[in-house]
Structure 1
Amino acid sequence: MSNSIQLLIISDGKPGHENQSLGLAEAIARSRAAEIQLLRLDTTKNFLSRTSAALQQSKNYPKPDFVISTGHATHVPLLWLARYYRACSIVLMKPSLPLAWFGWCIAPEHDFPDLPGGKNLILSKGALNRVRVSRREKSGKLFLIGGPSKTHGYDEDGLIGRISTIAKDGEWQVADSRRTPGTFITKLHEKLPGLAIFPHQQTEPGWLAEKLSEVEEVWVTEDSVSMIYEALTSGARVGVLPMPRLKGDSRVIRGLEKLQAEGYFINGFSGEDFDAPACDRPVLAEADRCAAEILRARDRATRLHEQ
């Protein structure tokens, strides 16, 4: 029998959710011998049918020690499989079911503004991700572009104007996302034909994480919260490009403002000096920090059981 920790991820198929779960699982695997299995739910089925199907599919994998998931559609299958295998359940978000039902809940601190964490709750700075801090020599500069969201509108002319102001020297690259309006790349190329542009349709899975490990400076539009946290995890200098706010008091924006106040990034055209080296700014490594806390708790429980 393998002595590796067995990790089973329950995925709803959404890349952002899967990215969070894999981020934690891979962090655990960097610290201990571990095997990661990925089980994707059929979310077209009702919760009973998809839970039953998940249970049957899980029997093809080793018995898990931890079952990990992100996304509301995964909650019932997560709890059911954890109970069936007597495994520890880990949900990576503020759950729609009672917190006490889960072994662990890892959620952004802006989701629980009135709680300090503790017991089975670990508060993180933003969502976890798969990016790792790179210690190798970095070069190059990158813009990451999002698009309209629940919290932000879109000002294409203003955005391109900000990019024009910043991209005055060096080899700048631009990557868009699925939410970026189709007119952006055309207008940007007309305004700044020298920029290297990477449309999301032409990049492979894992491209962004690899690119972030290479560049020394990253600017991200404020609506792209997940990409902001990925950039902050890479060790690059990070700037945030303002976009029109639809909900100025949203928990997501409050979370970003707190990070800015703590010195993690600067806001575009805030007047702050952006020439300081990357090591002068804090770097996020939240997946590794959360993994370490979970493993410490597991070790304590094992020692108590053996006494």
Structure 2
Amino acid sequence: MHIVYASDGKAGHRSQAVGLFKAMQRQYTDEVTFEEVNIQDLPIFSLLMGMLIKSFRGFSKQPDYIFGVGSHTQLRVVLLGKIYRQAKTVILMKPNYPFTWFDHVIIPEHDGIAENGNVILTQGALNPIINEQRHVPNRILIALGGSSKRHQWNEEKVLHSLKNIVDNNLQAEFILTTSRRTPSEFLTHLKLESFAENLNIFPVEETPQGWIFEEMQKAEAVWVTEDSVSMIFEALTAGCRVGVIEIDRLKQDRITKSIDQMIEKKVISKTESNADLPQAQTFKEAERVATYLLAK
């Protein structure tokens, strides 16, 4: 089986495609190969010409599945599906085009779309993580985000939460990392706080690719600022107990509502004590979607 991924180069989008590919690879009895092709190498004109001759020279072999994530991949996935009629087209997002233009549409349930026809709803975006059962008791990972279209970074609130997390988990080993959205001056201010001596700090600029996924495998618990929704689901998939650090909300929407619902259902918590966090969940969304696709 050969999977072609039309890539826009964004790491978060690639993570979803790779997560589904790896889940299919684990379940399929024969070899499953993955070919990532940047959309710059998939010009629309060439794809239109390819529709006429029923061929496209850009791939190592004919695809069985064509994946796309991101608005700029959608039309390319549609056109590739017209060239390779035997291939199943899979778009991992709410598309701008009619859903029926794709064989499968995979959408996080917080987007508010009904699951019917060719639509598959998931709890959060897919990711390549599995629970490797390597969690170390009292090892805590703290992952900080920043401002977004629905959140505003609040340094005072974050510092207060970090102090409480440290004070309420005195026996723990703490690993803290930032994201590219974390204000550049924050770590300077954090290091002035007395509790910071308890933190092992790894700025995002100094962490290699895959570092945070490895840390999730080792952490018993993960605290994430609530703006980092994808990281919340990654930590849940890794089998961690998950806490959220509140920052200011600029607006209420389906995303913030989904966070509140998970708190209400005790999937995640706003508590600052590891002992009071909900027990680790069993999140295997990529596995579930792969099972469905392969059964089809």
TM-score (norm. length: structure 1): 0.86
Cα distance in 2 for residues equivalent to 1:282 and 1:166: 21
Cα distance in 1 for residues equivalent to 2:248 and 2:56: 45
Q: CA deviation at 1:62?
A: 1.6
Q: Which residue of 1 aligns with 2:23?
A: 27
Q: CA deviation at 1:255?
A: 1.6
Q: Which residue of 2 aligns with 1:40?
A: 38
Structure 1, unmatched stretches of 5+, are 298-307
**Contact preservation (8 Å) 1:41, 1:50:** no
Q: Which residue of 2 aligns with 1:75?
A: 74
- Corresponding residue SS for 2:152: coil
CA RMSD of aligned residues (A): 2.3
Letter in 1 for 2:8: D
Residue of 176, 179, 191 corresponding to 1:177: 179
Residue of 251, 254, 259 corresponding to 1:256: 259
Please give the per-residue CA displacement for 1:43-95, whole angstroms capped at 9, x wherever unaligned: 9x9x6258579999863322110001100000011111122112100000100
Equivalent pairs, count = 284
**Contact preservation (8 Å) 2:268, 2:277:** no
Q: Which residue of 2 aligns with 1:228?
A: 232
**Structure 1 pair 281–62 and aligned structure 2 pair: CA distance change class (3 A):** same
Q: How does 1:263-278 map to 2 (within 5 A)?
A: 263-268=266-271, 274-275=274-275
**Structure 1 pair 176–54 and aligned structure 2 pair: CA distance change class (3 A):** farther
Q: Which residue of 2 aligns with 1:95?
A: 95
Q: CA deviation at 1:162?
A: 0.5
**Contact preservation (8 Å) 1:39, 1:54:** no
Cα distance in 2 for residues equivalent to 1:204 and 1:58: 34
Structure 2, unmatched stretches of 5+, are none
**Structure 1 pair 130–242 and aligned structure 2 pair: CA distance change class (3 A):** same
Q: How does 1:133-172 map to 2 (within 5 A)?
A: 133-139=131-137, 140-168=139-167, 169=170, 170-172=172-174
**Structure 1 pair 196–281 and aligned structure 2 pair: CA distance change class (3 A):** closer
TM-score (norm. length: structure 2): 0.89
Letter in 1 for 2:145: G
**Contact preservation (8 Å) 1:263, 1:281:** no
Residue of 207, 217, 220 corresponding to 2:221: 217
Please give the per-residue CA displacement for 1:241-271, whole angstroms capped at 9, x wherever unaligned: 11101112x11111222222222111246xx
Q: Which residue of 2 aligns with 1:17?
A: 13
Q: CA deviation at 1:134?
A: 2.0
Q: What is the identity percentage for the equivalent residue pairs of Structure 1 and Structure 2?
A: 33
- Corresponding residue SS for 1:128: coil
Please give the per-residue CA displacement for 1:166-185, whole angstroms capped at 9, x wherever unaligned: 11322101110111100111
**Contact preservation (8 Å) 2:243, 2:271:** yes
Letter in 2 for 1:293: Y
